[in-house]
Structure formats: C-alpha cells, structure tokens
Structure 1
Amino acid sequence: MGSLERYIFRQAALAFVGGLFVLTLVVWITQVLRQLDLVTNSGQTIALFFLMTSLGIPVLLALIAPISLFIAVMQTLNKLNGDSELIVMSAAGVPPWRIAKPLLMLTAIVMVFVGSLSLWLTPSSIRYFRLLLTQVQANMLSAIVRPGQFTQADRGLTFHIRDRAQGGVLLGIVVSDTRDPQVHMTYVAERGVITEQPQGTFFVLETGNLQRRDMRDGATAIVVFDRYAFDLSQLTQAAETIYRPSERYTSELMSPNPADPMLERWRGRFRQELHDRFAAPLYPLAMMCIAFAMLGQARTTRQSRGAAIAGAIAIMAAVRGGGFAVSGLVAARPAAVPFVYLLPMATILFFGAVSLGWIRIRTPEALSRLSSELSDRLMRLVTPRTAGGGA
C-alpha cells in the first residue's frame, strides 16, 4: 500500500473509530439509564451494574458499525474534496479504484468485525446477560421488594413487606398466591428470610398464619405456623430454561432442537434472527459503496457537495430502513428470506457500478436547488453575525 493509500486509510480509520466510539457511547448511556432503576432497586453492586449494561455493547456495535463506516467514508471524501485533494488526484491521473482501495480495505475489516459480532459475540453476550439477570431475579424478594409497596413476582403471586432489617430479614410479610384459580392462598408472617438450599430457593416465614380459601364453595381454613418454607424455585427455573432467539447460538438457530417447546412458538423469529446475522456483514460494504458513489468524484462547488451529501444520507437511510422492514417480513413469511440478502447485494452492485463509472446518475435538479437555497440561507444567517462581531 503506497503513501497515498495509507493517507486515505488513516483518515478514514480514525474517523471510523472516533464515530463508532461516540455513537456507541451515546446509545449505551441511554441503555444505562433504562437499567439503572432495576439494578439500584435490587441492591446490586456497581460492578455488576456496569457488567450487565456493558454486555449490550456488542449488539450496539453490530448495528452502529456500518453507519459509522458510512459517516467515516463520507467525511474523508468530503475533506479530500474540500481541500482540493481529490481535484489534484484526478488531474494527476489517479484512477478512482486507487482512491477506493484503502476504503475497501477498511470496509473488509469492518465486515469481519460485524460478522464476528453478529454470529458469535452478540448471542454470547446476550445469553450471559440473561444468566446474570436470572441471578438478580433469584434474590428478587430480598432485594427488589420495596417496603410499603406491593410487588408482583409472577402472575397471581404478589408480595408485600412492611420493612427490611439487617441481615436480609424482611418484616411484616404478606404473600397472596392466586396462581391456582380454584384455591387462593394468603400468607401473613411477622418476619422472613430468603435461603438457598440444595433443593432450591425458599422463602422461610416465621410466626404467622396461612389462610386457604376454596373458590368453589367459599370455604376458608386458617393454619397457624411458627415456621413455613415457601418454595420460590419455580420462579427462577422458568427464567433459566427459556431463551429467546436473539439469545441462541448461531448453531442452535441453524439446527434447532425439534423438541424445543419454543421452536413452534417462535419459528418465524428463529428464521429472522438467523438470516439477519448472516446478512449483517453485507451492510458495511453497501454503506461504503453508497458514500463513494456519491462523493468519490471531485466536485468544484459547495452546492453540488451539499446535494451529494444529502442524497447519500437519504439513500443510506432508505437502504437501512428497508433492511429492517424486510427483516420483520421474514418473521411472518418464509418467502421473504431472499430479500434479506438481495437488498444489500443490489445496493452493492448498483453503487459499485456507479463508483466505477459504468452507471452515471445525476443529482435531481430539485435537490440541487434545495441544497443551494439552504446553503445560501445559512450563509446569510452567519454573515451578519460575523460582521457584527468584527465591528
């Protein structure tokens, strides 16, 4: 790779890494704020909180990397054009493929990066997040239950405590269990504690009574107890056995277990998730081709560059939005699977041909006129302020 290619590669790589970091950080912070209430209310450590929120970063990287690459290529080409470097290269006889070569090398790296995230790291991180979330839910009664509030741990199972003492002891406990529609159970106890036993997780209640009401005939029975163990194992076991399609390994999506009870329920989502993972590495190349086709040629006026940038952004948004739409369609219709790959491939072929000069596209006159008007208005707004500041 010559000095010219290294220069372009360095400019694009720095822009890509910087854009990827900033965009990922912004989106990650929004996710952190969403998860903050869950972890703080459950009494978990700050280390576990950051671990759980950081497990979503691979998902963000896989989604943001193609867009960051698009922005980096567009910024690099626009800078080269704005500094008249593209004009000098064109006048010196540098062919377009030589300018595209370092960008393609960066794109290949990003494609491998996105493919690794989509096929391996992302499902692994989401699966581990599910494991940690299950552990947090296992301590739900001693951590998440807030004094003075009713908390529904499961459908038909509600807990209420008056206060929380040292050592994880809960005071003033009321448990309403209506999971069985024929028999409603109400537990009232002065204190209780969560214990982990080899047989499972139990809520040990002390000094209380059990009120059992038969809904068929309305008969009520009250049993006074000094110590009673309420089984919580079913609440944690359900979370451990159910994995969503996004939490399955790629091998599990390719060869699902026929005995899996979730396969029939989520068959469409299994198909959607699998093909989304395989199609994800195609989008960085599609984004690069769009940016290079629109901005890879030397442009001598500010208006034409503005129209090209606006057109590139609009096309990128349409292609990525179309990808999400097709993905949703695959979950409902197996016949839509080819379109998951056809959309990015068609984008690559068409804009690749435009980049090589095999196909020529013209910026619509209306878009050029709109870009020129916006630029002129912006200049009119900036110029008086600049003049006033100088005075």
Structure 2
Amino acid sequence: MPRIDRYILSQFLTLFGFFALVLVSVYWINRAVSLFEQLISDGQTALVVLEFTALTLPLVISVVLPIAAFAASAYGTNRLSSESELVAMQAAGMSPWRLARPVLVFGLLVAVMVAMLVHSLVPLARARLADRQAEIAQNVTAQFLRAGSFQYPVRGVTLYIREIADDGRLMDFFLEDGRDPNDQITYTATEALVVRTEAGPRLVLMQGMVQALRRTGERQSLSVTRFSELAYDLATLISTESSRKRDLRTYSTLELMRADAALLEATGATSDKARAEAHERLAKPFQAPIAAMLGFATLLIGGYSRFGVWRQVIWAVVALIAVQFLATAAESQVARDAGRWPLIYVSPLVGALISLFLLWLAAKPRRLRDKGRTAPVTEAAA
C-alpha cells in the first residue's frame, strides 16, 4: 500500500477508535441503566446485572461500528480538507476515485469486524443471555413470592402469602387463577413449598383446598376439593408462554441457511424466516463500507472552502439517514413476509450507487475546469 494510502487509513482508524469508544459507551450505559432497574427490582444482585449488560455488549458494538465508521470518515475528510492536505493531494493529480481507495479499505476493515460480531459473538451472547433469563425466571421467590402483599405475576392471577418462614415455607398461601372467565379456580393452603425439577419449578401445597367456579351459559357450579398435598406448575406464573420456543437469533448463520426440521420445530419458525435472518446478518457488514464512503464522497464534492464544509456534512447525514430508512423499511417488509428477504440488500445497493454518483460528481468539475482553461489557449493560437 502506498504511503499516502497508509497515512489516510491511519487517520481514519484513529478517529474510528475514538468514535467507537464514545458511541459504545453511550449505548451500553443506556442499556445498562434499563437492565439495572429491571433486574434490581426483581431482587437480582449487581453481578447478575453486570453479566447481563456484558452479554448485550456484542450486539451494541455491531450496531455502533457502522455509525462510528461514518463519523470517522466524515470528520477525517473534513480535517484533511481544512488543513489543505486534501487540496494538495488533488493538486498532485490524485482523482477522487484514487482518494477513495484507502477509504474503501477502511470500510472493509470495519465490515470484517462487524461480520465477526454478527456471525459469531452476537449469536453466542444471545444464546447465553436466553439461558440466563430462563434460569432467573425459575427463581420464583426472587421474582414475585413476597410476603404480606398481593402480587399479580400475570394477567388474571392473584397471589398472596402471609409470611415466608426462614426455611422457605410459604405460610397461609392464596392463589386465584381467573384467566379463564368461565373457569375460575382458587387455591388455598396452610403451607407451600417451592420445589425445583427438571421440568421447571413446582409449587407443593399442603393442607388446603381447591375451589373451582365454572360458568356454563347462565348456570354456575362450584366444586370444592380438599387435599393434603397438591403440586402446581409455576411455569404458568413465570410466563404466559409456558412452552417457550428457542430464539431464532441464537443459531449460527450456517444453521439458519440450511435450516432443518429440528431447528424449525425448536424455534417455531418457517424456513423463509430462518433464511431471512441469515441474509440480514450477511447484509449487515455492508453497512460499514457504505457509511464510510458516504461520509467521504459527500464531503469531497464541496472542494476547499474557508467557511468549512458544514453543508456537505448535513447532506452526508441526510444520505446516511436515507440509507438507514431503506434498511428499516426492508426489515419491516421482511418481518411481514419472510419470502421478501431479497429486499434486505436494497439498502446497501442504493448506498453504493449514491457513493459512486457522488464520486463521479466530485471528479466531474475538475474535467470541466480543465476544459475551461484550454479554451482560451486554443482561441489565442487561432
């Protein structure tokens, strides 16, 4: 690589490291605050909060890196222009196409980082996060088994515990399940215990009764059953989705591309949806070089000015927003119909076309000025 390319690339990489650090910190802190409030309110420790925020970090970085690449490219080009270095390069005969080469290399380096994240670290972090959420969801006592107050773990369910003994026994237990208006069931027991099993947490009620109120049209019937011991599945109180499917995003890209029957059954998704998720990951790294080229090419069309290139900066931001808007619109269309997954590649393609047009526009005035300079010489010779 020529020295001038190494110089431009080193400038952009230095700025990229700064902007990436700042943006990741802002995004991560914002995410950590929301997780902190949610987990602490559920009775979790600070170590659990730190673990959860660390597991969200790969996803945050993959989202931030293209934005940091755009910021580094735009700011670096502005600095090269304000310090007249860009003018000197152009005066030496370097065309905009030639100047764009180190910028493209810079964007491809960032794209490799994004690809490593979205294809390996992000799925692994999502899988680990899902497992930890399932583990914490089984910690029923920390979630909603609190003494002396009525709790509403899910819609239509009321829970009350008079006291929680030191050995974990729930004294004077009351549970009303009114999720089905036509079949309302009330459980009462003098004692209850939470027992962990392979199928999830179970609630063992002792010395109590079940009152079932059933409505059939205008008729109502009440049945009472007394018991010495009764097992109750607490999974229905932890989540309304007791048979929770595995998240499609926790699988690797290769597994999604060749989704088999076992994967589709475990996730409850279709083959088109799995393929759409894979192609979304494949298209995501292209955002980095497109963002870098937009930040460079848009500022290049302004040339040198003592008043700066703030207009070009605004147009660069508008171009990036337009490309991101197309990406968001494509994702919404694919979410409605997974068979439309080719729309995912429209945004990178449009961004590449805009960058090529801007580079062509930046090179065009130079040729026009050259023609303007040669015209008087031709007339004088005549």
TM-score by length of 2: 0.81
Confirm whether residue 220 of structure 1 aligns to residue 218 of structure 2: no
Q: Which amino acid aligns with 1:229?
A: A
Conserved? CA contact 1:142–1:168, under 8 Å: no
Q: Which amino acid aligns with 1:82?
A: S
Aligned to 1:328: 332
Indicate the larger mover: 55-64 or 279-288: 55-64
SS for the counterpart of 2:220 is coil
Unmatched 5+ stretches in structure 2: 367-382
CA distance in 2, matches of 1:59, 1:277: 12
Aligned to 1:343: 347
CA distance in 1, matches of 2:307, 2:175: 69
Shift of 1:47: 1.4
Conserved? CA contact 1:78–1:295, under 8 Å: yes
Higher RCO (CA < 8 A, seq sep 6+): 2
CA distance in 2, matches of 1:147, 1:28: 35
Conserved? CA contact 1:319–1:343, under 8 Å: yes
CA distance in 1, matches of 2:277, 2:225: 51
Conserved? CA contact 1:245–1:266, under 8 Å: no
Aligned to 2:245: 242
Aligned to 2:161: 161
CA distance in 2, matches of 1:101, 1:168: 67
Confirm whether residue 355 of structure 1 aligns to residue 359 of structure 2: yes
Distance of aligned partners of 1:142 and 1:207 in 2 relative to their CA distance in 1, 3 Å threshold: farther
Aligned to 1:173: 173
Shift of 1:282: 1.1
Aligned to 1:137: 137
Confirm whether residue 315 of structure 1 aligns to residue 319 of structure 2: yes
Q: Which amino acid aligns with 1:244?
A: D
1:49-97: CA deviation from partner (whole Å, max 9, x where unpaired): 1111222222222222111100001111111111222122223334445
Shift of 1:102: 3.2
Distance of aligned partners of 1:142 and 1:219 in 2 relative to their CA distance in 1, 3 Å threshold: farther
Distance of aligned partners of 1:278 and 1:149 in 2 relative to their CA distance in 1, 3 Å threshold: farther
Indicate the larger mover: 24-33 or 200-209: 200-209
Conserved? CA contact 1:134–1:236, under 8 Å: no
CA distance in 1, matches of 2:28, 2:356: 33
Of the candidates 284, 306, 314, which is equivalent to residue 280 of structure 1? Answer: 284
Distance of aligned partners of 1:156 and 1:70 in 2 relative to their CA distance in 1, 3 Å threshold: same
CA distance in 2, matches of 1:266, 1:172: 47
TM-score by length of 1: 0.79
Aligned to 1:368: none
Conserved? CA contact 2:107–2:292, under 8 Å: yes
Aligned to 1:367: none
SS for the counterpart of 1:351 is helix
Shift of 1:280: 0.6
Aligned to 2:101: 101
Conserved? CA contact 1:185–1:211, under 8 Å: yes
Unmatched 5+ stretches in structure 1: 363-391
Instruction: Give me the CA root mean square deviation.
Output: 3.3
